[in-house]
Structure formats: structure tokens, C-alpha cells
């Protein structure tokens, strides 16, 4: 079974007439995702690869049973796009857009968390895929295979690498969730860990973290206290040069805190095995199931 999305998810694409929106809408449709409508203000009445375009989310939702939205709009308009989606009661909103100002996301996070029933994934994320059922975002469907491993990740490319290594060993995935690497994201590790732990068909959880912040340390404590499903982890950045800022906006290391080694130690101290490369992760997964 999958979490967040499945073959019944009905998807709206905000920013569908832009280059990224147009390309990935087509890829999602080819994968089998139910892409029902798109939104670009001023482009209402057009079509993109057979998908009708509307001027507003409200108009699209009036004509279609939308429950999921994916956002490809430029960073300067992303805040309004997220708020428009949640104000129309869309259950899952996946924001791919990067470089959204922190003060915009502070406002969005507060509003979505406290005043709506919507779930926001991202921003600056690759999206969500339930292999063989649906994908919402930019993940390359070819590297995933249906199975019983749930993956939650702050990274994009490493998610594909680790999933591909597992797929090559016949280890498929229930759902893969890219939560994004910004300082403020709508959904964190703990949120997704809880979802996977409640999924009867997810038998192993893989957490993919990276340097900076303290999300992995918080996840380690949560796993010990609340998660029954076996969990393994990978931390990107073991070879990162000391004192050099790298990667996402959330990848800020403070002194000895937030390094790959320090995160790995905390996870291992809480009983979570940590792999050092994708192939090792595949081996750990094979042994854990």
C-alpha cells in the first residue's frame, strides 16, 4: 500500500504552461498519474498535452475533483500559489519551486499548519512517487519499483541513486517522499515516519538526510520512542570540506553540529544503521527485511 498518493489521486498542475510545468505534466501523465487540469492565470481555455488550463485554482476545482496539486510556478509567485491551493481545500500540495524567500515560507507554514487541513510537501523538493500507481513531481519513474520499502528524503538526486540501487537488487518501494532541503518545509521527517509506520505494507523505512540543521537528530529520537517499523538511514556529506557551505538552504553546519558524522552517530546511538553509499544502503535494506 502507498501513502499520500495512489492511482486514485486527481492532480492539478499550477504553472502548467511554463517549461517545467509542461514537461513534467507530460511525464506524470505518461507514468499513469491522473493529471486532470492545469492553472496559469491569463491562459485559461488553452490545453497542454490534452490537459485543460484554467485561470484559477477555484475554476479548476469547480470542474474537476482535485485532491492533489503540484506547483511549478516561479519563486516570486509560489507563496500565493500554495495559499490559493490550500484555500480551495486541496488535500495534498506538492511545491517543486526552489529559492522561495524564507519570510514567504514562514508565513505559508504558519497558515497551512494552523488554519487548513492540507498537507504541504516541499518546497524545493522532487515530489512524491508511489511506484506503479502515481507520481507527483519530477522523480524519474524508471528507477523505482513497487515494493515494501518507504523512503523519505531531504535530497533529490540521492533519493534516485539509493532507490535505483535498491531496485537493482529487487527491493521495491511503497512510496518515496522528497520533503525538500530548505530551512522551512511543510512536512518533516517525523511526519512521514509516522505515515510509513502506520502503513501495513511498508516493512522497512529508509531515511535519507544531509548535513545541516537538526532534523535527523529529532527523527532519531522519534524513531526510538514511536516507530516500530525497522529503519535505516543515509546521510549525505561525509566528504564535505570543513567550513564550506554546500547543498540546500538547510545544509548549514554550526561547529561540530550538523555534520554527517555527528548525525550518523546520533542515529546509530538510537539503533538506526547508517550506510555510507547507495550500494551499502541496498545491502542494509536486504538484511533488514
Positions marked active-site: 248
Q: What does the DSSP assignment read for 97-119?
A: -----HHHHHHHHHHHHHH---E
Helices (H) and strands (E) in the chain — how many of each?
9, 14
The side-by-side arrangement of strands in the sheet containing 47-48 is 47-48, 51-54, 34-39, 10-14, 68-71, 92-95, 119-121
Q: Which residue has the cell 510509513?
A: 196
Q: What is the DSSP letter of 282?
A: H
Count the alpha carbons within 13 Å of 22 in the hemisphere toward its beta carbon.
8
Q: Which helix (H) or strand (E) holds 235?
A: strand 231-236
Cβ contact 139:147 at 8 Å: no
Kindly report whether the peptide bond that precedes residue 93 is cis, defined as omega within 30 degrees of 0.
Answer: no
Closest to 175 (Cα-Cα) out of 218, 128, 110: 128
Cβ contact 181:154 at 8 Å: yes
Helix axes 189-198, 215-226, angle to 10 degrees: 30
Give every CB contact of residue 111 below 8 A, 6+ residues apart in sequence: 83, 86
Residue 226 gets the label, from left (phi > 0), alpha (psi -120 to 50) or beta, of alpha
Cβ contact 24:137 at 8 Å: yes
Amino acid at each position: 500500500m502507498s501513502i499520500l498518493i495512489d492511482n486514485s489521486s486527481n492532480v492539478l498542475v499550477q504553472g502548467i504552461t511554463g517549461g517545467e510545468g509542461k514537461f513534467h505534466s507530460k511525464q506524470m501523465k505518461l507514468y499513469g498519474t491522473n493529471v486532470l487540469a492545469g492553472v496559469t492565470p491569463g491562459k485559461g481555455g488553452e490545453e497542454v498535452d490534452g490537459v485543460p488550463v484554467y485561470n484559477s485554482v477555484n475554476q479548476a476545482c469547480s470542474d474537476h475533483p482535485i485532491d492533489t496539486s503540484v506547483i511549478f510556478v516561479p519563486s516570486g509567485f509560489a507563496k500565493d500559489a500554495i495559499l490559493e491551493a490550500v484555500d480551495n481545500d486541496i488535500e495534498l500540495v506538492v511545491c517543486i519551486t526552489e529559492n522561495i524567500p524564507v519570510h514567504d515560507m514562514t508565513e505559508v507554514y504558519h497558515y497551512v499548519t494552523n488554519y487548513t487541513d492540507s498537507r504541504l510537501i516541499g518546497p524545493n523538493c522532487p515530489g512524491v512517487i508511489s511506484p506503479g500507481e502515481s507520481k507527483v513531481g519530477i522523480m524519474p519513474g524508471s528507477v523505482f519499483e513497487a515494493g515494501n520499502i518507504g523512503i523519505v528524503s531531504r535530497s533529490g538526486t540521492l533519493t534516485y541513486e539509493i532507490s535505483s540501487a535498491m531496485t537493482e537488487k529487487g527491493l521495491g518501494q511503497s512510496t518515496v517522499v522528497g520533503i525538500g532541503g530548505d530551512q522551512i518545509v511543510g512536512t518533516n521527517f517525523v511526519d512521514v515516519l509516522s505515515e510509513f509506520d502506520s502503513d501495513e505494507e511498508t516493512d522497512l523505512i529508509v531515511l535519507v538526510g544531509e548535513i545541516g540543521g537538526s532534523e535527523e537528530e529529532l527523527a532519531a529520537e522519534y524513531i526510538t520512542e514511536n516507530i516500530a517499523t525497522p529503519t535505516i538511514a543515509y546521510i549525505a556529506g561525509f566528504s564535505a570540506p570543513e567550513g564550506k557551505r554546500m547543498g540546500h538552504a538547510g545544509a548549514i553546519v554550526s561547529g561540530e553540529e550538523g555534520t554527517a558524522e555527528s548525525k550518523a552517530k546520533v542515529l546509530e546511538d538510537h539503533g538506526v544503521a547508517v550506510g555510507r553509499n547507495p550500494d551499502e544502503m541496498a545491502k542494509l535494506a536486504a538484511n533488514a527485511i
